Amino acid sequence: MNKKEVLEIRKQFTPENCAITRICGCYVDHEKEKKTELKKAFLSLPEEEAFKYFDIFKHTLSGTLGKNLINMDFPLEQEASGGTQEFLLKLRDSKLEDDLIIEEFYDRIIDNYVYAENYYIILIHAVYDVPGKSSDGMEMFDASDTVYEHILCSICPVNLTKAGLTYNAETNHIEDRIRDWIVEAPAKGFLFPTFQDRSSNIHSILYYTKKPEDIQPELIANVLGSTIPLTAGDQKTTFQTIISDTLGDECDYEVIRNIHDNLNEMLEETKEEPEPLKLCKPDVRRLLAKSGVPEERLESFDKEFEETVGEKNTLLASNIASVKTFQIETPDVIVKVNPERSDLVETREIDGRRCLVIAIDDHLEVNGIEIHK
């Protein structure tokens, strides 16, 4: 799914557009015991309660694509009979009215979700009548010819509010605050099937993780049955490893700076695109060649990429680029440069020593004090 498609589904989580038919929930304590369950028509919820659920569902489809929201495809074996795709399709097609399959779903999450405290599993079923579009791109709400039937799961931590004092208006006293168990914003979740090209794609799942580096591999493998992706941090580390191994002893400052500049230029050129910029093996090869990596060094690149990323896998440019900083580090000095002005720094040999040279055009400050000489 791209940004526009995610936004279109997020817009359904309002009273005016609500397409949710049913909601189920299971509260699990720190000993992995089911404490209470919810099963009802969503529209039967009190208005204030429904608003709070809407907020949770919007959070489950929030964040950055490739970091918090990850598109994942089913491996072929999971699309066979008995695979996780079949199970999730049964769950969706049951419209959450089959108690046995719902309980099995809860059990799968409880067995594989790694969390030491209490949490609340929320599962909804929704049917979205996708509006048709005219030739000028305008939505025609009375011309729907596609139905997007889907389920959305949110896994929310449940924590005790902090101890403290509160004002009681009835008694006009300051007194001890009553501590409550609060359902917080989701930590994990998923949408199935994905919404792509304004229709259902049963071959993929959109996975949500609040913390990009905590993707819960067991949950992905055993509940969703998808291939475990590289996290955003792993993608950056992998890219750095590819560069280091490809260049070896000839890892040059100018080449690294060129890679930084060229990557950020690519991101700038594609920032209005709905799809995040993905780099496959040929794309990364061209990037390195354009940045000055010698051809003889590129001979080992293909092997390095296939071993670390995979021949047919991709890296997201936003995950491997340093958009906010250009940092140069020695054992004793760290220099942070505006990423758009990396040209101000160069390396030179002065009196037989390798040095960093920083151009100072008009202003120099040290510890908040302006230097004039």
Same domain assignment for residues 299 and 334: no
Same domain assignment for residues 73 and 22: yes
Q: Which residues lie closer than 8 Å to 351 by C-beta, 6 or more apart?
A: none
Same domain assignment for residues 101 and 50: yes
Same domain assignment for residues 144 and 37: yes
CA angle 361, 366, 367 (to 5 degrees): 145
**Separation between Cα atoms, residue 227 and residue 330, nearest integer Å:** 38
> Which residues span the domain enclosing 282?
233-320
Same domain assignment for residues 245 and 345: no
Contact 109, 16 (CB under 8 A): no
Same domain assignment for residues 307 and 332: no
Same domain assignment for residues 52 and 144: yes
Query: Is the pLDDT reported for residue 187 higher than 70?
Result: yes
Same domain assignment for residues 145 and 71: yes
Same domain assignment for residues 346 and 281: no
Q: Read off the pLDDT band of 97 (50, 70, 90).
A: very high
Bridge-based pairing state of the strands 69-73 and 139-140: unpaired
pLDDT in tens, 268-308: 888 888 888 899 888 999 999 999 888 888 888 888 888 88
Last residue in a domain, options 179, 213, 228: 228
Beta bridge partners of 346: 357
How many CB atoms are closer than 10 A to CB 129?
12
Tell me 249's DSSP state. G
pLDDT in tens, 218-259: 999 999 998 878 888 899 899 988 888 888 877 888 888 888
Same domain assignment for residues 240 and 118: no
Same domain assignment for residues 163 and 285: no
**Separation between Cα atoms, residue 226 and residue 220, nearest integer Å:** 6
**Separation between Cα atoms, residue 371 and residue 373, nearest integer Å:** 6
Number of domains into which the chain is organized: 3
pLDDT the model gives residue 135: 59
Bridge-based pairing state of the strands 34-41 and 20-28: antiparallel
Last residue in a domain, options 193, 228, 263: 228
The mean per-residue pLDDT over the stretch 95-122 comes to 96
Alpha carbon distances (Å) from 361 to 19, 257, 258, 358? 59, 20, 22, 10
Last residue in a domain, options 320, 335, 350: 320
**Separation between Cα atoms, residue 318 and residue 66, nearest integer Å:** 8
CA angle 291, 240, 242 (to 5 degrees): 75
Mean of the per-residue pLDDT values for the chain? 89
Same domain assignment for residues 353 and 244: no
Residue 36 CB-density burial (10 A; 0-12 exposed, 13-18 middle, 19+ buried)? exposed
